[in-house]
Each structure stands twice: as structure tokens, then as C-alpha cells.
Chains A and B, each alone.
Chain A
């Protein structure tokens, strides 16, 4: 159980759905769709929930614009992301928990859907 954010995995069935932030390339920008718990940092003691809550408090909330500033070799772990005017270093697992919409798929309807998904997730 996650007291802060219930786990949510946006269906990846269609190509226009949200991607993990970790997949973005250096210099790429996107809009945050929401947060989703991922395997990797939940140890069964609720630390996954703490990570998600902190990501949210740092400004990774639906609708926020973010941009990848730097990625460490070889696989972008950790990476540097700018969001809400501040800059953060995130590990790959942390960045994977942030779901983003790439600009090319940013149809208005998609943003609506993403916002709805997040608000369901946060409720």
C-alpha cells in the first residue's frame, strides 16, 4: 500500500501515451503527465512512496514542463533535469517514475487524459 500515491501505470498500449522521463535524450523537453511507481526503489517499507512524494514536492507535477540538461554515461544514470525553474540530479530509477508526454504527441486531448490520469492517481 502506498499512502501518498497509489500505484498507477498508465496503459502503454497506444503510442501516444506517457513515457518515463528516463527515456528522454539530452536536450529534449517534455511535459510531465504524472508519477507512477516503478520497480527499483520500493523495498516494501514504503520508501517508494517517499520518493514519489518528494518528486512531487520538487515540482514534478502534471502539466510542468521539464528538460533534460545532462546524462551521465553510459545509460543516463544519473541525469540532470530542469523543472519549474529549478534543476535536479535524478537517478534513472527516479526519472523512470516521472511520466512525460513528448511534445510531438502533445495533442490537447492527450494532455487532458494525462491530467485526468494523474488526478485519479493522486486522489
Chain B
């Protein structure tokens, strides 16, 4: 119940075309007082935030997904329309609409504003990027614009401190609250006459306010001449991706060492100060070791997301999608799939969620189905461990063999993904045309504040994962591998008598043909929850299977001395393809709204992994 009935908050919705600076304005208005959730029943991201109006009353601000039109072509755009119409459960129609229009590209935003205004909701127009517009020779008579539209027009500069002050002045609840209780509206999709009327109105308003298109920016033209060039554009794209992945590995090394080192010290400290027994074992082997194994990737994930967010903010990503559209079309993908697939190198979950921006359901489904084949950062620890344990660090020409193997694993995932997309294109259903029609926004420097907010969001999601699922699983695994205790006079390592040991022995029947021993088989089970856990699980399993004093031995030498090369390579290949992350499958279920696709995904990935590992194991084992 709302305790403060006398001063209820005012519900405000921000709407605008993509790239108009709407999200930057939302960040400016709400700062970090925002939460991200989903609309009920669908997984369109719902960003909501709060701030106080000048009279101290609360404003609840909703950042609607960007759309060019109220005739939707994607799920996101449909949600925007439905929220404005008051059709979405749990998201009552806004009491005030703030229509954000990029002053530089006035026509496209103003057209949407005219369409929104027809809904009859109270509205103000935030004319954003006024500073850039002035620099590029765009002059807009704001008073005239307000008269023509019949709504207040406020200048904003979303990326500047104080850039939203005029807007905040204008949205005092007292001015708008008499518009309360807006019921769900009747709605008909725009007819040809409506659309024509909107275009006529638009031409009239543009002429009245004296709008002229922006002067071409010479720098943007020069940059585009290179970045959109059929050859140089692709060369630059390859270089950008190379630098990005290089950075993920080299920049992350130091902070990963600090995290590993300090958590290791914490473990030693705990072990030294607690009496030996189940509690000490749980804390050291279960909680601390488990958390350390996962937290260690935080730097890599942050660096990858830093690059993705910065590239997105700069306006480069749609250009990359343009360059790749033709090539990706060859296997039945849209150039728009580039952005979700690139995110999948960090983690398949945001990647699968980003696939919502693909209008065609078929293209979107293909993108979702292959996203887990992009090598996500959670596979890195497994790759890193096995490669450093078993692949000699010798030079092959100017390269390092370990690096080449790592590259080969990434390439294997990409090739697998393309092959699966190709198969889906040829064996699934009716072909539906899916448009590209992608806006290439102006270039701009990434804004530090927005970048930090975006990264902070990722850190929160990652840490809550570590704190939640992953940690719980590590504790369960510790329990399973500690109990029941071995009987008196037992000769083997204690873990063989535990639940985990028995489970591993059973799984070994399944995995023996591809060269996995029982320790690996056990580690694969918690690895289902989160791939990276498999490393710490192997650590736990080997630590607990040691019989003598060598418990604390590092995992790497143990693997190097007990696994064959064939087994290690088979496990690496397994990790390229196997469906090993339940959260990914859960997201697919949510995104496709059915169990069918996650089940198909798990099935095909398992089959692919088993066959590929089988071949790898047999071939390498056959080489003398």
C-alpha cells in the first residue's frame, strides 16, 4: 500500500526514436536511482527510475523502448505503444509523456511526436542536443514549435550537467495532475490517410519553425568514407575486434591476479584461524574457493562490456552491422544479429536479450539459437586452465602455440554457429523477408557517466549471480563431495564414497567414450549451472580425492600429470559446444515463451558436443 496517499507520485514516460539521446536524458534525470526489470509476460527491458520534483513530490519516470513509429515492427516497439495506450498490466498509462526529439534530426523525431500527440495524453517535448544543433547550423524557432504543436517545448542537453533543468522546471506535478486517471484507449493502426495527414502536418511544422537539415559534418563524412568502405571498413572492423579481445586478455591479467591473490589469502587466513572440521572445510573449500573461481572473471567481463558499451555509444555498432549484413545473409542471418552475437562473447544472456531488436521472428530465433556457440567469458577459465596445463608454450612462427589453440577454440565456436544458422535457414519453415532499415547515428564520444552506469549495471547482475546461484551450488557440491564420509579402513580417496563420487561413477559410463574420467564427469554437473564453476569444482574434487598431504596441490600440475592430451582436447571441444549453462536455457525459455526452443537448443548442442568430442578424442588418441 502507498502510505503517502496525499501526495501520490506522477507517472512520466519518456518516448523517442532510437539514438535521440532518450536514455542519456533518463540517466540525467534519475542518476543511479533506477531499476531494470521486465514487462510482465515479455522480456522487454523496463527501465524505471525516480526523482523528486521541485516541490519535493516524487516523479516515477519510465524509459520506454525507442521506436520510430506507433505502427510497431518489433516486440520492443509494440510494448512502447501498448504502455502509452494503458494496455500493459502493471504499467498504467503515463500521466505525462515526455517526447524526446533530437534537434539535429528534427523531422524523424517530430513525426513520432505528432503521432504520439494524437493519443491525447498530456505531453511535453524535450528538444535534445540543442548544442550540437546550433553548431551544425540547425535553427529551430522553439516558441513557434510550441504554438504549432500546442505543447510546451523545452531545450535539453542530456549529456551536460544541468542540461535537463528546464525540463525539470516544467514537470511539476501540480501542473499535470488534473489529467489523472487516463483509461485504456481505443486504438486503430494508422491508416494510409492518417500517415499522409501526419506527413502533411510534419511538413507544415518544419516550414513554420524554419528547420533546415544540418550542415554535413566534414569529419563524419571522412570517417564514414573509411568505415563504410567495402574493404577498409572490414579491415577496421577486424582490427577493432582484435584489439577488443586482446584487451580482454592482457588488461585483465593484473586485476585478476589481485582478486585471486587476496581471496587466496582470505582462505589461508580462515583455515589458520578456525579449528579443523566441517565448518572450516565448508568456508575454505566451498564458499571462498567457489567465490574466487568466479569473481576472478569480473575484470574480463567488465573490459568486454566496456568495449561493447563504448562502441555502442560512439555510433559504430550499426555500421558494423551494415558491413556484415551481406555476409551474414549468406547463412540466413541479418546484419542486425551482429550486435547480439558480439555481446554473446561476454555472456550469451545479454546477447540473447539483445536479439529483441531483430524485427523478424525467424531471424531472431536463429540468432538466439546460435548465441551460446559464441565463446562466452565463462568458458575462459576452463580454456585457460587446460591450455596452460597441457599445451606447451612453444613458438609457432611469430605466435605462441597456446594463443593459437585459444584462437582455434573461438573460431570453432563461430564456424559451428554459422553452420547451425545455415542448416536452420535450409530446413525450417517459410522464408519471411526481414528488413534491415538500420539508422546510422552521428558519431559521438562515448559519455563517461553513461558508460559507468552501464558497467555498474553489469557488475550488479554478475555479483548477484555469484552471490546467488553460483555460491549456493558450490556449497551443495561441497556437501555432496564430503558426505557420506568414507567407512573406517577405506583405502581410496574419501570423495569416491561420497554422493558426488557415486554420481560421477555413473556419469562416467556416458562420458568414457569421449575420454572423460570420473572427476571430470562430476565437475560437469555443477558446470551446468554456470560453466566457470567447473574449474572450481575440479579443484574441489581433486582436493578432496587426495589421500595424503598433497591436498593443497595446485590443479594445473595434477591435470598435467594425470590427463592425456586426448582427454584434455576432448574436454576443450566439449566446452566449445555443450549446453552447459542453465541460466542461458532459462533466458531462451523466457524470450521464446515456450519450452520447445530451449529443449531443442539443449538437444542439438549436446549432440554436437558429444560427436565433436568423440571425434577429437579418438583422432588424438590414435596419433602415437
A residues apposed to B, CB below 8 Å: 3-6, 40-43, 45, 47-48, 50-51, 53-59, 61, 69-73, 77-78, 80, 84-91, 93-94, 119, 122-123
Contacts and interface: CB of A to CB of B under 8 A. Distances in A.
B193 A53 contact: no
B399 interface: no
Contacts of B108: 58-59, 84-86
B433 interface: yes
A84 B230 CA distance: 25
B69 interface: yes
A74 B171 CA distance: 52
Contacts of A50: 71, 73, 435
Given A41-B435, A84-B108, A54 B68 contact: yes
A70 B323 CA distance: 10
A39 to B, nearest CB: 10
Interface in B424-461: 430-441
Contacts of B104: 85
B192 A89 contact: no
A123 B430 CA distance: 31
B24 interface: no
B432 A54 contact: no
In this complex, the member of B191, B199, B439 whose beta carbon has the largest number of chain A beta carbons within 10 angstroms is: B199
Interface residues of B, number: 46
Interface in B180-196: 190-193, 195-196
Given A72-B323, A77-B326, A122-B192, A57 B68 contact: yes
Contacts of B22: none
A17 B335 CA distance: 33
Interface in B536-573: none
A59 B110 CA distance: 11
Contacts of A45: 432
26 contacts: A3-B192, A4-B71, A4-B192, A5-B192, A51-B437, A53-B71, A53-B190, A54-B68, A56-B199, A57-B111, A58-B68, A61-B199, A70-B224, A70-B229, A71-B230, A72-B322, A72-B326, A84-B213, A85-B108, A86-B108, A88-B438, A89-B318, A89-B321, A91-B436, A123-B193, A123-B196
A37 to B, nearest CB: 12
B325 interface: yes
B69 A73 contact: no
B106 interface: yes
A123 B433 contact: no
Given A86-B107, A90-B436, A122-B192, 8 more contacts: A43-B431, A54-B68, A58-B68, A71-B230, A85-B107, A85-B213, A85-B214, A122-B195
Interface string B352-379: 0000000010000000000000000000
Contacts of B430: 43
Contacts of B480: none
